[in-house]
């Protein structure tokens, strides 16, 4: 993979930042990327944090803490948001903003002194398996630790493929990264389960601890740590309960639709688990969280490209995040959920051929 110059430039700019703030996605890829960045710039880091778990936008960002840290550079990792969020951050913080991401979002036309590295948003046809892999390429450090972190991010993002035993170019890339090292894909799959347990329980202390373990030790430390182990066990209970409570609303030859009402951020886990049973059709999960009176619609297809549907839905004003094969809609009220569900059904039909006949 040849990186575009707007990505490569970051390697030249980063060493000149003296007060680096890191804002990263809460999942394994975001955490592995943050750990990688911390490993290179550890003595210049003034802030590390994630946005509000489950939310994408300016209101999910802890501005007071970021401003108190007074960074001269803010690095945003794996957090796919709309361009206006970066503009807003720039206006508030007045520092250099560096974005590394592989989500399918509208690209940001970064002003001078800022850097936007997202080949997917720029329409790159080659799939970028993770932000950790992008960052690994940017930093150009080939130490085993960096290769393992790059592979960990890939494995985290591709768990549905690994669990459904489907081939994926990204998994081959992860295997190449691990060649000659004593770590296997299956082991990283286990680690990602521990790491993702943190966000499933909305536990930021756990995320910070995982990052510290990844920076200081090897990946296996995460699975040995008593605190992370306890979080993992609790998350497992919540997930088992979620799978027990989920109800199937509909299934035909092209789509399976499920509904879950539960106060935990298990949307992607339950969606991924259900999707691995329906690898040949769309899986739709409607997840309503009564405690915050918000919901999510999760859509995955292993076969179909969802980018057209994502753009179409976004143009109706809905908050939609996603990649080629997955999208998640954020909903603020039951009315919005009903409206969105109609649009989802319509957009899936319009954008693919599986509904024909």
- If one asks whether residue 78 binds Mn ion (CB under 5 A), the answer comes out as yes
Stretch that binds Mn ion, among 29-37, 91-99, 194-202, 310-318 (CB under 5 A): 29-37
CB of 289 to Mn ion, least distance (A): 22
Residue window 133-172: x/- pattern of binding to Mn ion, with contact defined by CB under 5 A: ------------------------x---------------
Reference 183, options 146, 137, 219; nearest CA is 219
CB of 259 to Mn ion, least distance (A): 26
Stretch that binds Mn ion, among 27-35, 56-64, 217-225, 237-245 (CB under 5 A): 27-35
Q: How many residues bind Mn ion (CB under 5 A)?
A: 4
Nearer to Mn ion, 325 or 352 (CB): 325
Stretch that binds Mn ion, among 15-23, 78-86, 198-206, 216-224 (CB under 5 A): 78-86
For the chain, the three-class secondary structure string (H helix, E strand, C coil) is CCCCHHHHHHHHHHHHCCCEEEEECCCHHHHHHHHHHHHHHHHHEEEEECCCCCCCCHHHCCHHHHHHHCCCEEEEECCCCCHHHHHHHHHHHCCEEEEECCCCCCCCCCCCCCEEECCCCCCCCCCCCCHHHHHHHHHCCCCHHHHHHHHHHHHHHCHHHHHCCCCCHHHHHHHHHHCCCCCCHHHHHHHHHHHHHHHHCCCHHHHHHHHHHHHHCCCHHHHHCHHHHHHHHHHHHHHHHHHHHCEEEEECCCEEEEEEECCCCCHHHHHHHHHCCCCCCEEEEEEEEHHHCEEEEEEECCCCCCHHHHHHHHCCCCEEEECCCEEEEEECCHHHHHHHHHHHHHHHHHHCCCCCC
Nearer to Mn ion, 95 or 154 (CB): 154
Stretch that binds Mn ion, among 6-14, 129-137, 203-211, 285-293 (CB under 5 A): 129-137
CB of 162 to Mn ion, least distance (A): 15
Q: Copy the structure tokens of residue 16.
A: 């000149």
Nearer to Mn ion, 157 or 225 (CB): 157
CB of 190 to Mn ion, least distance (A): 19
Nearer to Mn ion, 295 or 321 (CB): 321
Nearer to Mn ion, 185 or 354 (CB): 185
Taking CB positions, which residue lies at the least distance from Mn ion? 29
Report the site for Mn ion in 297-356 (rule: CB under 5 A): none
CB of 240 to Mn ion, least distance (A): 26
Stretch that binds Mn ion, among 70-78, 191-199, 244-252, 333-341 (CB under 5 A): 70-78
Point out which residues bind Mn ion (CB under 5 A): 29, 78, 131, 157
């Amino acid at each position: 993979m040849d990186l575009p110059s707007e990505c490569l430039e970051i390697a030249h700019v980063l060493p000149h930042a003296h007060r680096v703030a890191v804002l990263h996605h809460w999942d394994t890829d975001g955490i592995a990327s943050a750990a990688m960045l911390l490993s290179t710039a550890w003595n210049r880091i003034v802030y590390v944090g994630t946005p509000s778990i489950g939310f994408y936008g300016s209101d999910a960002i802890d501005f007071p803490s970021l401003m108190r840290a007074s960074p001269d550079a803010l690095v945003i990792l794996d957090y796919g948001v709309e361009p206006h969020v970066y503009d807003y951050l720039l206006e508030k913080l007045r520092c250099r903003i560096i974005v590394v991401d592989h989500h399918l979002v509208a690209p940001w036309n970064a002003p001078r002194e800022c850097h936007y590295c997202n080949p997917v948003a720029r329409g790159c046809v080659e799939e970028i398996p993770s932000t950790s892999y992008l960052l690994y390429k940017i930093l150009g450090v080939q130490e085993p630790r960096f290769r393992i972190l790059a592979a960990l991010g890939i494995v985290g993002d591709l768990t549905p493929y690994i669990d459904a035993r489907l081939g994926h170019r990204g998994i081959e890339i992860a295997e190449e990264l691990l060649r000659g090292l004593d770590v296997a894909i299956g082991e990283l799959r286990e680690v990602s389960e521990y790491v993702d347990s943190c966000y499933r329980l909305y536990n930021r202390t756990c995320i910070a601890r995982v990052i510290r373990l990844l920076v200081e030790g090897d990946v296996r430390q995460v699975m040995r740590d008593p605190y992370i182990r306890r979080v993992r066990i609790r998350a497992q209970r919540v997930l088992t309960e979620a799978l027990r409570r989920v109800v199937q609303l509909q299934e035909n030859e092209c789509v399976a639709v499920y509904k879950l009402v539960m106060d935990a951020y298990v949307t992607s886990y339950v969606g991924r688990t259900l999707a691995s049973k329906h690898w040949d059709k769309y899986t739709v999960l409607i997840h309503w969280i009564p405690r915050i009176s918000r919901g999510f619609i999760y859509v995955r297809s292993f076969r179909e490209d969802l980018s057209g549907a994502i753009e179409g839905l976004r143009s109706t004003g809905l908050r939609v995040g996603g990649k080629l094969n997955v999208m998640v809609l954020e909903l603020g009220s039951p009315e919005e959920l009903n409206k969105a569900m109609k649009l989802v059904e319509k957009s899936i039909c319009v954008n693919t051929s599986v509904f024909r006949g």
